[in-house]
Structure 1
Amino acid sequence: MDRRHRDDSADNGGDANGQREKRPRPAPRAISAAEIAEEFAHHDSSVARINNGSFGSCPASVLAAQRSWQLQFLRQPDEFYFNRLQPGLFHSRALVKEIINAADVDEVALVDNATTAAAIVLQHASWAFAEGAFRKGDAVVMLHYAYGAVKKSIHAYVARAGGHVIEVPLPFPVSSNEEIVREFRKTLELGKANGRRVRLAVIDHVTSMPSVVIPVKELTRICREEGVDQVFVDAAHAIGSVEVDVQDIGADFYTSNLHKWFFCPPSVAFLYTNKSSASSCLHHPVVSHEYGNGLPLESGWIGTRDYSSQLVVPSVMEFIGRFEGGIEGIRKRNHEKVVEMGKMLAEAWGTFLGSPPEMCCSMIMVGLPGCLRVSSEKDAMKLRSFLREKFKVEVPIYYQPPKDGEVLEKDGNNCVTGYVRISHTVYNAEGDYHRLRDAVHNLVADGYNCDMLSSK
């Protein structure tokens, strides 16, 4: 372990593995509804904000802690950089290490977001192709549901270096994990055709659009059985939304944003790298003074920038500790409430959920009435903008093309091709979802459809 890590842990009141001395503290008083409202009073109260999944939410107490860190830097930058930054980052990494059950704090690096983490892993894969460790034409497998920026990164880094990219064609709506496992196995077989090897599998833990919880532990196990070299789990939505146990999942690399469901300010994520994997070969794409000293240090000193969002993890833990059951309690209540609200909307609109409740987390997909005629991704964006501007409802909309045999009629009953992705977190109230329900009812009653909406 780098000497600076040992010094940092000592300065920070912890041991060399990130364990802090435990001191008894009085149990915090449970947070009240009024206090929750005050913590999020900076939100636009005129908007029904049911899209926490995109950008997350940061409470006022954590924003105040962030401001304190920013002022410490501005007051005396040299003293901050040389004496406070690394101990503070080490403390945050040590807390993340405990939350995700990593074996060692050096397996955890803090980066800007999951997209940055993907770039780090995919850069490593591209070097392996370029330098001959991987053969040209060997495969990289990713889910069809993969986040758009990650898909583009895979092509930018891996395909250009000679990798053969294959997508797993996952179904939606989806009814069981078995459907996902079956398609994944078939794609791995395709990846191994003609003597190829599958060098990397990129698997989402919680897909973004459409939102589905993927059985990552089982898919990782299948990868090991089928000889896949490395597994990277893109879990941008995971921490604070589903249970994360990186040792149990068993992937080589795992990333999740801390600003989506874990109440950090934008933007901060962690990248976990299993020490038995090629962790020493990973490097931050921005090369700075700590290059070669391990990814955690490389990521913790990439020039003059605002590190405050990475330093407030202790303050986030204090905020979470005010809720019954901590993060597990928040996660459970969010799941139960988003399922309840999803079922309410589906019943009101005469549609259905995009997946069973057990395949959802703090987000759920709900079919929109087919008469709205969502017939393209452009239509989905037009309808989303209209709901925002006309009804003050913020919710993402997903377009799913008609399946074989389904027809998108101009009149009468239509197949469902549009889905809302609703989120639930601590600041949401039932009235937010009632406003969405009523807005859609109004559009249907007035005969609106996407053909009638102007594009901007």
Structure 2
Amino acid sequence: MTTSKDDVVPAFGKDIRKEFMLRENSVFLNHGAYGSIPRYVHERQARYLTELESHPDIWFRYNVCTYLRTSTAKVATFMGIHTEDTFLVQNVTRAINTVLKSFPLQKSDAFLITSLTYVGVKMISAATVARVEDHITSPSSIVLPVKHIVEVCHQHGMVIVVDAAHIPGQLKVDVQDIDADFYTGNLHKWLFCPRACAFIWTNPKRHHAWFKPLVTSTLDNESLHDAFAHEGTRDDTSYVCSADGIYYYERLGGMFNVLLSLKNLGSISTFNVHVYKHMMHNLLTYFKIIQEKIVQYNSTLMAEGIKYLEEKWGTKCLAIPENMKAPCIRILQLPFIPRFSDSLGSEGTDVSKGKNFELKKLILDRFDVSSCVVILEGQLMVRVSTQVYNTMDDFIRLGEAVLELTQKEENGP
């Protein structure tokens, strides 16, 4: 068996960073915000765009339909759900919009959210018949016990949609066992898929006839999949490339369905039962190691990086129980920074305005270091994300940049 160049996976860290298009010498510890696609996926998307422009009529009327079916099936298999219950959408915010704005609200009904709900979702929620629940909160990075929350909500007759924006590619979950009415996750954050790309799963055991796309298409009266898939001249290449992003993720050693991967072994009748059981044990152990490779690297680097920053700055991470920590994202208190830490006022966690946004921009402009600076519980904090292209050097540069900034700010610009 020969090994092609594409099958050789570079070492994680500096070597594999060459497969991405990140700016040279920049520090990018904010993968959890928008993700970053490898050149392979970018080139695949460019190829599809070329195909589209070579004959738009063929693309929109014939080819894209086939591509979308293939990609939807790939996403469904990766998430351990069925294709017929899975729909591709731009992002989790749109998915939750789709549910809440389709919901048949009555005069006294309301949507229930938490204080940890992502700000984009807070903006669309009504003033309790439906609940939006995060699986991993943003930006506080807490893994919530959604299965238990779903059970309680259903006991009270609520419809529940789980915001799993940070789940695909970071945590392996049993979506069907969680049993929410709707479950939606982004594919462009941790699965190397192009922006914008996400999925929403509808629970076949909790069918809601009112669920439909936000945009009424020409095929609105056809199947639900047709209604979601045909939205005029929308650029669907990010959806089409979700299969390529998952392929790249699995190539690096990401999560995949072990049982599906073993289908081609043939009938067990051709094996001695003892030999078969031994082989199964070895294969499952092997696949467990392989499927944890990306998350293991990211979580190990995260632990080392956070320990370094805590010692460097004399601060602490947000106190979270060990079993509620997200493996690839963490939030940490920043040291005191004059003109920022002492003038927060009553600002919340909005990441796109306020003193936290100003500080993030200052760190980026002055040191070419990107992270996510937020205000949480009245304190300036930084959320860092790790991906396979990150190294300990990135944490060192962030640590020294912030420390230098505090010293400079103390003495003036």
Q: Could you tell me the TM-score, scaled by structure 2's length?
A: 0.82
Question: After the TM superposition, which residues 135-146 of structure 1 pair with which residues of structure 2 at under 5 Å, given as runs?
Answer: 136-146=107-117
Report whether the alignment pairs 1:123 with 2:101. yes
Structure 1 distance, partners of 2:194, 2:395, is 25
CA-CA distance at 1:46 after TM superposition: 3.1
Task: Evaluate the alpha carbon distance shift between residue 26 and residue 108 of structure 1 in structure 2; reply closer, same or farther with a 3 A threshold.
Answer: farther
Letter in 2 for 1:211: S
Report whether the alignment pairs 1:419 with 2:378. no
Structure 2 distance, partners of 1:240, 1:25, is 29
Structure 2 distance, partners of 1:240, 1:387, is 28
What is aligned with 1:50? 29
What is aligned with 1:39? 19
Structure 1 distance, partners of 2:226, 2:133, is 26
What is aligned with 1:366? 332
What is aligned with 1:288? 217
What is aligned with 1:338? 302
CA-CA distance at 1:325 after TM superposition: 5.0
Q: CA RMSD in A?
A: 2.3
What is aligned with 1:387? 363
Quick one: which of 121, 124, 137 aligns to 1:153? Answer: 124
Q: Which runs of 5+ in 2 are unaligned?
A: 256-290, 348-353
Letter in 1 for 2:161: F
SS at match of 1:399: strand
CA-CA distance at 1:145 after TM superposition: 1.2
Structure 2 distance, partners of 1:387, 1:306, is 34
Q: 1:317-375: per-residue Cα shift (whole Å, max 9, x none)?
A: 33123223555421232223223211221122111111344322311001111355524
What is aligned with 2:375? 399
What is aligned with 1:233? 162
Structure 2 distance, partners of 1:100, 1:37, is 26
Structure 2 distance, partners of 1:228, 1:341, is 44
Letter in 2 for 1:199: V
Q: Which runs of 5+ in 1 are unaligned?
A: 1-23, 160-164, 166-197, 403-416
SS at match of 1:242: coil
What is aligned with 1:88? 67
Provide the identity percentage. 31
Contact 2:194 2:242 (8 Å CA) reproduced: no
Quick one: which of 216, 222, 237 aligns to 2:152? Answer: 222
Contact 2:197 2:242 (8 Å CA) reproduced: no
Q: 1:28-69: per-residue Cα shift (whole Å, max 9, x none)?
A: 7341137622211x2112321110111101000011111111
Contact 1:30 1:324 (8 Å CA) reproduced: no
Structure 2 distance, partners of 1:347, 1:269, is 38
Task: State how many pairs are aligned.
Answer: 363
Structure 1 distance, partners of 2:311, 2:15, is 33
What is aligned with 2:237? 308
Structure 1 distance, partners of 2:244, 2:327, is 24
What is aligned with 1:162? none
Structure 2 distance, partners of 1:101, 1:111, is 18
SS at match of 2:331: strand
The runs of at least 4 consecutive aligned structure 1 residues that moved more than 4 Å come to: 24-28
Structure 2 distance, partners of 1:332, 1:291, is 44
Range that drifts further, 418-427 or 275-284: 275-284
Contact 1:339 1:364 (8 Å CA) reproduced: no
Question: After the TM superposition, which residues 222-301 of structure 1 pair with which residues of structure 2 at under 5 Å, given as runs?
Answer: 222-225=152-155, 227-301=156-230
CA-CA distance at 1:447 after TM superposition: 4.8
Contact 2:301 2:391 (8 Å CA) reproduced: no
Contact 1:199 1:230 (8 Å CA) reproduced: yes
SS at match of 1:95: helix
What is aligned with 1:109? 87
SS at match of 2:151: helix
Task: Evaluate the alpha carbon distance shift between residue 330 and residue 295 of structure 1 in structure 2; reply closer, same or farther with a 3 A threshold.
Answer: farther
Q: 1:123-182: per-residue Cα shift (whole Å, max 9, x none)?
A: 122xx12xxxx4x2233211111111111111xxxx3xxxxx3xxxxxxxxxxxxxxxxx
Task: Evaluate the alpha carbon distance shift between residue 109 and residue 123 of structure 1 in structure 2; reply closer, same or farther with a 3 A threshold.
Answer: same
Structure 1 distance, partners of 2:294, 2:222, is 37
Quick one: which of 383, 397, 400 aligns to 1:438? Answer: 400
